[in-house]
Amino acid sequence: MKLGLLERLLAAGGEGGAALATDLATGAQSLVTASSAEGDLELGEELLAEVRRAIAGDRSATVEHDSRSIFVEVWNPRLRLIIVGAVHTAQVLAPLARLAGYAVTVIDPRTAFGTAARFPDTDLRHEWPDPALSRLKPNRRTAVVTLTHDAKIDDPALQAALASEAFYIGALGSRRTHAKRVERLAAAGLGAAMIGRIRGPVGLAIGALTPGEIAVSIMAEMTAVLRGAPLAQRSA
């Protein structure tokens, strides 16, 4: 691999995902991202789409195309989940997300809630969510979920998340709570399209009541959105 291509692969993989496509017969290679392709391996539209499906699916594979064997090596950054609110649901959601391969961060300025005893093996941030999110820089491989029911904490977190490329943004609360949240965010100057990115009430509609059930519904919806499953679609 040429040094320049390797450097761009490492950079693209850290930013939001990429794949190196290699013709196993000739050694020709191309670096593919969601928006670009470069290198000496010619990729038609069909093969390019196949490579991007591999990136989206987090799966390296050998693709057979036009009598050619193309090895697609996916370089995606680790999935991340940023939870705002060290509440009971977060205590279940954090280990559940880790089992699914996410690096988990819990943000809560209330130090009595965010303790190592309640959140073992978890990156805890005892600060306000907007500066914390500014430092964490959510990207296309990041989900952000707010769980506090406290507008002073959740609203700044949502504004910061909406300014990022986070693939999933969810907020706990009833439909009435979410309607009031939408009003506040609109009054703060956010447009309808931007506010519409918020999954509220958060999680799939499975009738969840307990913290554990709510965590399962959130994890399921995050997965559906990440993988583009039909369950990710919501009715108006």
Last residue of a domain, one of 56, 75, 94: 75
Q: How many independent structural domains does the chain possess?
A: 2
Boundary of a domain, candidates 75, 99, 122: 75
Residue 162 CA to residue 190 CA, distance in Å, equals 9
pLDDT, averaged across the chain: 91
pLDDT digits over 127-183, tens only? 999 999 999 999 989 999 999 999 999 999 999 999 999 999 999 999 999 999 999
Asked if residue 133 and residue 36 are part of one domain, the reply reads no
**DSSP bridge partners of 125:** 107
Domain boundary among 44, 59, 75: 75
Give me the domain span that covers residue 118.
Answer: 80-232
Q: Are both 41 and 153 inside the same structural domain? A: no
The CATH number for 91's domain is: 3.40.50.720
